[in-house]
Amino acid sequence: MKMIKTALGIDIGGTNTEVGLVDKNGKCLQIQRFSTAADRPFVEFMAQLEKAIALITHNGEIKPFAAGVGAPGANSETGRLEDPENFSWGSVELAGIMQKKFGIPVKVINDAKAAALGEMKYGQALNLKNFVQITLGTGLGSSIIIDGKLVEGHDGLAGELGHIKVRESTRQCSCGKIGCLETYASANGLCRTVFELLSRNKTDSKLREYSYEQINSQMVFELAQNGDELAIEAFKYTGTVLGETLAGVISLLNPQAILFAGGLTSAGNYLFEPLIQSIEKNLLNMHKDTVDILISDQRINYAVSGAASLVFNTNGKHK
């Protein structure tokens, strides 16, 4: 049996980490998932990662030639994680540490950028040259692709749309600032909006029965489907705020598409109807009807194949 050339594609998220065995066509042959436990020491994460890699490689029987890693706060220039928000690891020399431990070359990239690379090479953004990807998860991640290339910026830190200030408010962001887009347009932001609406008006809602810790975006979605007006209003407000910012992004970059990924996209029209209305309302006339709205296939984690594509691309033999 001929061995296929494979690489590890690793997506380190705030909640879960996924380790995939990926071939040169971006196909994920096997995947392992474990809890990142970002509040625990980094050495514990490394022990978990080692276990996952042992499982996926059948204890070293399969030999991936390199690893690509997508992670929050990852700097592709230095190979370091720069003190990612919501992680207690501080600044970690991830590429170097992994290289030593597993004996293969390792490249790292910001997680949102890994997802955009995956989408561009294998997903919804196949053949698109100019697009913006917005990941609506616990927080808000974003990546910009111009002329078929990822925009990295001077220090590899471009694309932090989530931390643009969008409102005068009391919403403290994980970055330490107040009123960032992420505190509105994300799963957490949606829950914060729910509680703001609950305190502001008397609308009857099942959401009044829960504490802040108990609610999540999936519950809000299910209640919206059952006609809960406050839940519907919360999505409407989320879409409206996000649409205002995206209209500005479209004016600035003139992308052919905006691609949405992340758990919050499963809310469908509860989110996208007000979002598209808000974009249209705030667009310059010349930009109207120029942008496609695309939604990622949630069954596939493109950050895994996108991270792996980093190492396939640097090797001339693998196109």
If the CB atoms of residues 121 and 171 are measured against Zn ion, the closer one turns out to be: 171
161 binds Zn ion (CB under 5 A): no
Closer CB to Zn ion, 180 or 247, in the complex:
180
- The whole-angstrom separation of Cα 142 and Cα 212 is 26
Q: How many CB atoms lie within 10 A of CB 314?
A: 12
Q: Does 113 bind Zn ion (CB under 5 A)?
A: no
Instruction: Describe the crossing of helices 229-253 and 217-225 by its angle, rounded to 10 degrees.
Output: 110
163 binds Zn ion (CB under 5 A): yes
For Zn ion, which is the closer residue by CB, 37 or 175? 175
Q: Which of 24, 177, 287, 318 binds Zn ion (CB under 5 A)?
A: 177
Interface segment toward Zn ion; rule CB under 5 A; list 19-27, 170-178, 211-219, 302-310? 170-178
Q: How far apart are CA 236 and CA 219, in angstroms?
A: 16
Residue 160 or 229 with smaller CB distance to Zn ion: 160
Stretch that binds Zn ion, among 16-24, 53-61, 163-171, 305-313 (CB under 5 A): 163-171
- Decide whether 21 or 191 has the Cβ nearer to Zn ion: 191
Nearer to Zn ion, 140 or 279 (CB): 140
In the complex, the smallest distance separating the C-beta of residue 176 from Zn ion, rounded to whole angstroms, is 7
Q: Which of 31, 46, 97, 175 binds Zn ion (CB under 5 A)?
A: 175
Pairing of strands 67-71, 106-110: parallel
Task: Return the beta strands (E) in the chain as ranges.
Answer: 6-12, 16-23, 28-35, 67-71, 74-75, 80-81, 106-110, 131-136, 140-146, 149-150, 257-261, 292-295
Burial class (CB in 10 A: 0-12, 13-18, 19+), 133: buried
In this structure, the number of other CB atoms found within 10 A of the CB of residue 50 comes to 13
Cα–Cα distance, 144 to 49 (Å, whole number): 29
74 touches Zn ion by CB under 5 A: no
Q: For residue 180, state whether it binds Zn ion (rule: CB under 5 A).
A: yes
Q: Taking the complex as a whole, how short is the minimal distance between the CB of residue 82 and Zn ion, in angstroms?
A: 15
Residue 285 burial class via C-beta count within 10 angstroms: exposed 0-12, middle 13-18, buried 19 and up: exposed
173 lies in the site for Zn ion, by CB under 5 A: yes
Q: Which residues bind Zn ion (CB under 5 A)?
A: 163, 173, 175, 177, 180
